[in-house]
Amino acid sequence: MQHREHIIALGKALVAEEQAGCADRSLPGGLAAYLKQWLAAAGEDGTHPYVSMALAQLKDYAQLPIEKRKKRIEVAIETLRNIFKPQPAPPQAVEPSKVAVATSEPAAASRTTISSSVVARPPLVEPPISPYAELKDVPGMQRKDLLAFKRLKLHTVEDLLYHFPHRYEDYSSHKHIADLIVGSNETVIGTVEETRLVEKTPLRVEITLGDETGIIKAVFFNQRWLMWDLSVGDQIVLSGKVSVYGGVRQMTSPAWERYRPEPDALIHTGRLVPVHRLTKGLIDRNARKMIKYLVDVSVPHLEDHLPEAQRKAAKVLPLGQAISQVHFPNTIQEIEAARTRLGFDEFLFIQLGVMQRKLLWQGELGYAMPHVPAVHAELLEHLPFALTGAQTRALEEIFADMARPVPMARLLQGDVGSGKTVVAAASLLQVIANGFQGALMAPTEILAEQHYKGLKRLLSRVRVPRQPRPEVEGADWRTRLSSEEAAQLAEIKALLGMSVEDDMDGAGVRVALLTGSLGAKERRRVLEGIAKGEVDLIVGTHALITEHVQYHSLGLAVVDEQHRFGVEQRQRLRDKGFNPHLLVMTATPIPRTLTMTIYGDLDVSILDELPPGRQTIRTRWISKTDRDKAYRHMRKEIEKGRQAFVICPLVEESDKIDLPSAEEMHERLQSEVFPDLRVGLVHGKMLPREKDEVMVAFRERAFDILVATAVIEVGIDIPNASTILIEGAERFGLSQLHQFRGRVGRGEHQSYCILIPHKENETGNKRLDALTETSDGFRLAEIDLELRGPGEFFGTRQSGTPDLKIAQLTDVGLLKTASNVARAILDEDPELALPQHARLKQKIEIFWAEARSVG
């Protein structure tokens, strides 16, 4: 029961040393010698967290320059003072009888005993630390560790609490020394029988540890201080791999700590030991000790953002328990339960975020655009085919959305070739028939141009009623044109390449293309036409929303081939001030779970039916050694007048990765394999303009073979290409391979897809088999998700999609639970304005801010 006395004595010694100018002479043998003696005598006091922190400050004191010593001493004294600072009242009073027991039982009880009037001395309890405090304000935090935490972007106690272990060492069961199995990882508890310093390089400290069944040696390198730390008679725990050396069992550099009998007192040994991600300068022991300390003192003050009722409904652990358990679990099951709660939170934040955004997007009024059947009927007449059932269903959903005065937010998912363009065209036409403008955005200029041509051909022949919109005064704007304006209009039409026939003198849909290749003057004209409402449909790249394009009355924005059209872009679109309807189209088949997380704010229409008579693309994978056969096939096809793609995973040759590069392949095909044919090259390191030029040249048959990297992925239409050969096929995701395959079979010719893996293995081959067996993009996406996991699903991360630390995207059950809870919360409190949701609201904001900053 000497707590105070020991610590006061230590404090006095430090003050004396400070007053003597930190010369390390105030104590016989120097401070280090004093501390060693003090530790030996202090017993339980020596393990008090504040004491440990103070002592950590004083490590290598003799070697420090005076200035540093002064600082360290000062911090150490301050740290010790914390122990005596008045504590807030404990949660419940302890009955005197219990206190009496506690006073006679020092160690464990002193943490929970209280009332100085009974014990008549300041209590030795952990001062509470707010989970929301800055790490730099944590007493005893060392500068070096602080910097290391900072490098990990951990600034607050809460950040550290959320710095989860990425794995655990299982040291949970300890054995007697005689029962240790050589070669396996084991834990023993024993008494130090000998400590020995071996002054060689590297310097060694050898500890002999014994229990009633035998001895084991522990060897540590370059840790001279262990000689002070450990004395004969100390009880310690070792965890590590057992070997035998000269007939004696040995552990080399094991984890170790002082044995403490209280449950959950061990941090580094004898349990499931957490392993946290570290940076240079941060020692796992220090990190673990700090995390343990902060978990102990701050988690009780951690507020659970999830209201109790919802938590019960979701059947997940309280937050504090989950956090404590994920860091310092007692069993594997505890880890699981903790991870379930923490993963649930991630899903919940995502779901609340996207649902709220949807409410917000649709909370403001948009324009209701009642269906105009006559115009739709006319479009159908002009189509050379009948719509598929899936197209009709999708259009019904879209028309219903747009007829409501709420901005539509819909995703149209459909495999390559499922006919999304005509769905877009029909939707845009309705908007135009209602007197609004439409915009169609493509990811590249060449795709924009492709769409422009196709849509113009189709839509300019459709007569749209030119009703003035209610808020536009007067009759048809054309009657109000001055002669100057009329001349200007003629000029714009000429610029847009419209002849009198094809816009039917303004009665048909007026389509304009806005790309980066327009000259400054033309560009200004087109922009003016858009601003004045003289253009009905604008086709272009993302510049249509990112740049300062002013719309006269934007009613619908269609975004094509963009699974990367993120939250930010959507917001920007909205900021154009018209609350337009939004239709996002993607050919990347996305499994249901991913849709819910990534596009949770979008309603989904699916084109799950290909137009009739679509040929299947013959797909086959072959070994590298059979490459010549593939080349013979290509030559035969080219002789028939066809063209071919060759896809490579890399742009240029790399020393690090042994994979076919597009540049090498181009070189080899042109000079060795097909010297008589024309081989082109396109890759991602080229400028967009250059890429487009090559693609246009290929479409115009200036090349027979086009060697390309993944840039070819998006919906480029080259009907004459009949073969696609994919090198290093195992490097691509199944969905991506499926996209590549969709580059051929777009015309009337039988088409082929040949896959050549660079390295073969079982999973890889299974994936390639799947591709040869099915042409269902959704099925392939699911297989991919199962075989490769979500991280690689997209290849690159989604813009504005949050990073999941814990949750598994494949965990549909948990996602659904989170989704239900999110809905229940928003039903009750759509803006999360209730006080019980304040913390939740804050958490979501932080979560999404992080997502945006990395996206």
Return residues touching ligand ADP (CB under 6 A).
Answer: 385, 387-388, 391, 414, 416-422, 587, 611, 715
Closer Cβ to ligand ADP, 29 or 389, answer by number: 389
Rounded to a whole number of angstroms, the minimum distance from the CB of residue 715 to ligand ADP is 5
Rounded to a whole number of angstroms, the minimum distance from the CB of residue 417 to ligand ADP is: 5
* 387, interface contact from ligand ADP, Mg ion, none, CB < 5-8 Å by kind: ligand ADP
Radius of gyration over every alpha carbon of the chain, rounded to an integer in angstroms: 36
Give the span between the Cα atoms of 613 and 419, in whole angstroms. 13
Q: What's the closest the beta carbon of residue 455 comes to Mg ion, in angstroms?
A: 12
Q: How far is the CB of 814 from ligand ADP (least distance, A)?
A: 33
Q: Is 326 helix (H, G, I), strand (E, B) or coil?
A: helix
Nearer to ligand ADP, 14 or 558 (CB): 558
Q: Which is nearer to ligand ADP, 11 or 715 (CB)?
A: 715
Closer to ligand ADP by Cβ: residue 337 or 379: 379
Angle CA(132)–CA(133)–CA(137) in degrees, nearest 5?
170
Nearer to Mg ion, 17 or 560 (CB): 560
Q: Report in angstroms how near the CB of residue 390 gets to ligand ADP at its nearest.
A: 9
CB of 541 to ligand ADP, least distance (A): 17
Closer to ligand ADP by Cβ: residue 268 or 699: 699
Residue 383 is encoded by which pair of tokens? 């189509």
Q: Report the partner that residue 366 touches, choosing among ligand ADP, Mg ion, none (CB closer than 5 to 8 A by kind).
A: none
**Closer to ligand ADP at the Cβ: 124 or 539?**
539
Query: Cβ closer to Mg ion: 419 or 600?
Result: 419
Q: Which is nearer to Mg ion, 46 or 715 (CB)?
A: 715
Integer Cα distance of 204 and 171 in angstroms: 24
Q: Shortest distance, CB of residue 418 to ligand ADP, whole angstroms?
A: 4
Q: Taking CA 576 as the corner, what is the angle to CA 446 and CA 555, rounded to the nearest 5 degrees?
A: 75
Q: Is 441 exposed, middle or buried (0-12, 13-18, 19+ CB in 10 A)?
A: buried
Residue number of the CB atom closest to Mg ion:
715
SS3 percent helix, strand, coil of the chain, rounded to 5, is 45, 15, 40
Q: How many residues are recorded in the chain? A: 855
414 binds, options Mg ion, ligand ADP, none, Cβ within 5 to 8 A by partner type: ligand ADP
* Residues 185, 256: Cα–Cα separation, whole Å: 13
Nearer to ligand ADP, 276 or 746 (CB): 746
Q: Which residue is nearest to ligand ADP (CB)?
A: 419
b/e 494-530 (16+ beta carbons within 10 angstroms → b)? ebbebeeebbbebebbbbbbbbeebeeeeeebbbebb
| 8 Å CB contact between 424 and 560 | yes
> Residue 416 touches which of Mg ion, ligand ADP, none (CB < 5 to 8 A by kind)?
ligand ADP
> 245 touches which of ligand ADP, Mg ion, none (CB within 5 to 8 A by kind)?
none
Is 413 or 709 the residue whose CB approaches ligand ADP more closely?
413
CA distances to 228, 236, 252, 315, 716 from 205, in Å: 11, 15, 10, 50, 68
Q: Where are the alpha helices (DSSP H) in 503-578?
A: 520-532, 543-546, 567-574
- Answer with the entry of Mg ion, ligand ADP, none that 817 interacts with (C-beta below 5 to 8 A by kind): none
Contact 626, 684 (CB under 8 A): no
Between 614 and 689, name the residue whose CB sits nearer to ligand ADP: 614
DSSP code for 156: B
Least distance to Mg ion from the beta carbon of 715, Å?
4
Task: Please check whether residue 616 is in contact with residue 774, taking contact to mean a CB–CB distance below 8 angstroms.
Answer: no
Tokens of 565: 């059209």
Query: CB-based burial of residue 232 (10 Å sphere; 0-12 exposed, 13-18 middle, 19+ buried)?
Result: exposed
Helix axis angle, 319-327 relative to 332-363, nearest 10°? 130
Q: In the complex, what is the shortest distance from the CB of residue 651 to Mg ion, in angstroms, rounded to a whole number?
A: 25
Distances (CA, A) of 226 to 186, 208, 319, 466: 21, 13, 38, 88
Q: Which is nearer to ligand ADP, 139 or 414 (CB)?
A: 414
What gap in Å lies between CA 367 and CA 377, rounded to an integer?
Answer: 23
710 with 727: CB under 8 angstroms? Answer: no
List, in order, residues 6 or more apart from 687 with CB less than 8 Å away.
none
Residue 318 or 719: the one with the smaller Cβ distance to ligand ADP is: 719
Q: Are 592 and 790 in contact (CB under 8 A)?
A: no
Residues making contact with Mg ion (CB under 5 A): 715
**150-156 CB contacts, 8 Å cutoff, 24+ apart:** 151/279, 151/280, 151/281, 152/277, 152/278, 152/279, 152/282, 156/131, 156/132
Q: What, of ligand ADP, Mg ion, none, does residue 566 touch, CB below 5 to 8 Å by kind?
A: none
Residue 615 or 654 having the CB closest to ligand ADP: 615
Residue 730 pairs with which residues in a beta bridge?
Answer: none
Say if CB 332 and CB 165 are below 8 A apart: no
Q: Which does 589 bind (CB under 5 to 8 A by kind): ligand ADP, Mg ion, none?
A: none
CA distances 695 to 504, 513, 704, 716, Å, are 32, 18, 12, 9
